[in-house]
Amino acid sequence: MFNRKKKTPSEPKEPRFKTIREAYSVTKSVKPWIGAALAAIFIGVWVIGIALGALWGHPIYAAFVALPLATLASLFFFTRIAGRAAYTAIEDQIGAGASVLMAIRKGWVTTPAVAVTRTQDMVHRSVGRPGIVLVGEGGNAVRSLLIDEKKKMERFAPGVPVHEVIVGDENGQVPLRKLQKHLKKMPKKLSTSQMREVRNRLKAVGGLSMPIPKGPMPKNVKVPKR
């Protein structure tokens, strides 16, 4: 008889419901009415489905069909509201821009707080196919920080495109909720190998340690994940 190796149970993954629960708690803190709205959408879609089924003579069958549709409608509404609420929850926190940048899934590597002033103005550095993107958030000192950091990048990575972005709601600035989309729309200037080389060069430059706002962050307007 051959000895069969017992399969070791794989480590349990983090339940998806835990992520949704965290997203719901953040959303509820910003939008207290979210629970009532989700219940109203679920019941409304379900009742409409049953009513249509009754007109066709199959109310019970329609109830089963409308149940997943009502769930999907509620989840769709929740993801839209949760994405906005996640931004609102961290909007006034220090390092909110870094939190949004580090939530980008692929193609970008972000070093938070490469330059910081005493008044908590700061610059974050992201490297991707478009080149080096310096993102500033804070007050009037941000522009001088960006200029100094851009000179440093041109010295460490000559010939690499350096972009400057200021987070804010004024003219010429990029709102926090649109920061990810703004970076993803930038034209790609570097190949994958060139991007890796730039990242390796900038590893020696490093950054400063700073607190990053915790909590779920929206990714492509889906259910936020930590």
Q: Residue 131 above 60 pLDDT?
A: yes
Whether 3 shows a pLDDT value over 80: the answer reads: no
Residues 78-119 have pLDDT tens digits of 888 887 777 777 777 777 888 888 888 788 999 998 988 888
The total number of residues written for the chain in this structure: 226
**Interval 208-219 mean pLDDT:** 47
Q: Show Cβ contacts of residue 188 under 8 Å, excluding neighbours closer than 6 positions.
A: 129, 130
Q: What is the pLDDT of residue 123?
A: 93
Q: Helix 59-90 crosses helix 16-30 at what angle (to 10 degrees)?
A: 60
The mean pLDDT value for 182-192 works out to 91
Mention every residue, 6+ apart, whose C-beta is less than 8 A from residue 180. Answer: 100, 101, 103, 104
Strands (DSSP E) found in the chain: 109-116, 122-128, 131-137, 162-166
* Chain segment 8-30, per-residue pLDDT in tens: 444 444 566 677 777 778 788 77
